[in-house]
Amino acid sequence: MIDVLQLVKLRPEVQAELEARYRVHGRDDLDKVAGIVRAVVTNGHSGPPPDVIDRLPKLEIIASGSVGYDGIPVEYARSKGIPVTNTPEVLNDDVADLAIGLMIMTARRLVASDRYVRDGRWPKEGDYPLARKASGKRVGILGLGRIGKAIAKRAEAMGSHIAYHGRKPVEGVPYKYYADLVELAKNSDFLIVIIPATPQTNRIVGKAVIEALGPGGILVNVARGAVVDEDALVAALKDGKLGGAGLDVFVNEPQVPAELFAMDNVTLLPHVGSATYETRRAMSQLVLDNLDAHFAGRPLLTEIL
Ligand code: 8YV
């Protein structure tokens, strides 16, 4: 049987299949099995770091149950001839749904309204104050990739005026391209962030972008906390220089800046972009399918290239 080092579990039904076909070892077994491991199962945040890869002489493949891979040294692995796979496409709908959900929840202040009712304030204080319309607004998308396009499709249905920024214009899309992110923010009511976390995108949504979005603008982040300057974000929300924020990701998850907790114009979610039974099942299956393909000598399904 082939020895697999598993840093994260797969969904139970797929986990059972994995254990039926491979000899699975946990993180704690590393010292004991380092010499025989031929595959690693991980996710976007769990490595393995280069020094662990160096301890696995027989390692042939790293399979990640995530689309993002900012926590995996892909270049380093590739330099040692070890392919890394991820799980694109299968989570597009969930993450796009959540981005639109955060747009509506934050503009309409749904979390605060819900709390207003649960706190028994409605009978005492009357109707909840008016909020902001989400439909028919200018939606800027930072990162018009697979998920970005799925977000745009949904925003179109809301009558949104869509524009985007990225390294370069995207062929065949009907949306206005802004070569300058600050210009995109200046011309958006919502700025939705869906780019990978890389050294080039670190804090790309900084003070200038946040303040360009302005007191009437709402920032939505369903990518990674690292692509936003979180201190500048908190400061702008505190000073009223930014209208609101819908956040599913943070710099030091699961730690979230406490200053945000009392803000009604902010929606805070615990990185649930792809957190549905259906999608996590599909992600787990793709991990297993890539392992099976590799060890059967077939082409990988979703290698990170
Ligand atoms: C993962 C994600 O669930 O796919 C990604 O990049 O952020 C989420 O879908 C998360 O990485 C946990 O593995």
Q: For residue range 152-165, what is the model confidence (pLDDT) as tens digits?
A: 999 999 999 999 99
pLDDT at 67: 98
**Does residue 203 have an active-site annotation?**
no
Catalytic residue among 38, 109, 165, 224: 224
- Phi, psi dihedral angles at 190 (to 5 degrees): -125, 135
| % of the chain exceeding 70 in pLDDT | 100
Dig out the tokens for 262 from the structure.
């009392």
Give the mean pLDDT of 128-135: 98
**Ligand 1 mean position, distance from CA 301 (Å):** 18
Give the mean pLDDT of 41-55: 96
pLDDT at 162: 98
pLDDT at 278: 98
Q: What band does 78 get if pLDDT is binned at 50, 70 and 90?
A: very high
> What mean pLDDT is reported for the chain?
98
Q: What band does 170 get if pLDDT is binned at 50, 70 and 90?
A: very high
Whether the CB of 223 sits within 6 Å of ligand 1: no
pLDDT at 248: 98
Find, among 108, 127, 107, the residue nearest to 117 by Cα: 127
**Ligand 1 mean position, distance from CA 124 (Å):** 42
Q: What band does 72 get if pLDDT is binned at 50, 70 and 90?
A: very high
**Ligand 1 mean position, distance from CA 49 (Å):** 17
First to last CA, the chain: 28
pLDDT at 10: 98
Give the mean pLDDT of 167-176: 98
Q: Which helix (H) or strand (E) holds 64?
A: strand 61-64
Q: For residue range 138-152, what is the model confidence (pLDDT) as tens digits?
A: 999 999 999 999 999
**Ligand 1 mean position, distance from CA 170 (Å):** 25
Whether the CB of 302 sits within 6 Å of ligand 1: no
Catalytic residue among 55, 146, 161, 271: 271
pLDDT at 232: 98
Determine the atom of ligand 1 nearest the C-alpha atom of 8.
13
Whether the CB of 43 sits within 6 Å of ligand 1: yes
pLDDT at 279: 98
User: How many helices and strands, by DSSP H and E, does the chain display?
Assistant: 12, 12
User: What is the C-alpha to C-alpha distance for residues 117 and 113, in angstroms, rounded to an integer?
Assistant: 6
Determine the atom of ligand 1 nearest the C-alpha atom of 44.
11
Which of 8, 10, 43, 64 gets mutated to test ligand 1 (max ligand atoms within 8 A of its CB)? 43
Give the mean pLDDT of 180-201: 98
Give the mean pLDDT of 269-278: 98
**Ligand 1 mean position, distance from CA 276 (Å):** 11
pLDDT at 273: 98
pLDDT at 176: 98
Question: Helix, strand, coil proportions of the chain in percent (round to 5)?
Answer: 40, 15, 45
